[in-house]
Amino acid sequence: MGIADVLIMILIIGGAVYMLYRSLWKKKGHCQGCDSVACEKKQL
């Protein structure tokens, strides 16, 4: 496994963890796409 592979791997895992953090934690469990309080501030 070369250095390029390691870098790609870190990039992919980092991106996946960030996506998880953003969708789960940063949005505080707001149900994405649902019509509950999550979308309260959304201008339709």
Partner 1 sequence: MSLELGVKSSELRETKRKTITVAVAGNPNSGKSTLINAIAGSRLYVGNWPGVTVEKKSAMFEYEGSKIKLVDLPGTYSLSPYTQEEIIARDYLITEKPDVIINVVDATNIERNLYLTIQMLELGIPVVIALNIYDEAEQKGYRINTKAMEEMLGITVIPTVATKKSGLNDLLKAATEAAANPSRYAPKQLHYSEDIESAATFIQTHLNEHHSSLQKRYPMRWLAFKVMEGDSHMMKEAGLDIDISLIEQATKHLTRAHGDDIESIMADERYAFAAGLTREMVKRPEIRKMELTEKIDKVVLNRFLGIPIFLAAMWLVFKLTFDLSQPFGDWIDGATAGPLSRLAAKAITAVNGPLWVASLATEGVLAGVGFVLAFVPVIFAMMFFITFLEGSGYMARAAFVMDRAMHSMGLHGKSFIPMLLGFGCNVPGIYATRTLENPRDKALTALLLPLMSCGARLPVYVVFIGAFFTTHAGTVLWSMYVMGIALAILMGVIFKRTLFRGESPMFIMELPPYRMPSLRNLLIHTWEKGKHFLIKAGTYIFAVSIIVWFLLNLPWGVESKKDSYLGKTGQVIAPVLEPIGFGNWEAASALVTGLIAKEIVVGTMAEIYAVEQEEQEETTVSEDIREIGASFTAAVGDSIRNVFATFGVTSISAEEDDSVSGLRTVIQKAFTPLTAYAFMAFVLLYMPCVVVAIAMKHEFGTWKWFGVAFGYQMVLAWVVALTIYQGGKLLGIGI
3 binds partner 1 (CB under 8 A): no
- Asked if residue 28 lies in contact with residue 37, where contact means CB atoms within 8 angstroms, the answer is no
Q: Applying CB under 8 A, which of residues 3, 7, 11, 32 lies at the interface with partner 1? A: 32
Q: How far is the CB of 21 from partner 1 (least distance, A)?
A: 9
DSSP 30-44: --TT-SSGGGTT---
What DSSP character marks residue 4? H
Selected from 3, 7, 11, 25, the binder of partner 1 by CB under 8 A is 25
- Location of structure tokens 């070369």: 2
36 binds partner 1 (CB under 8 A): yes
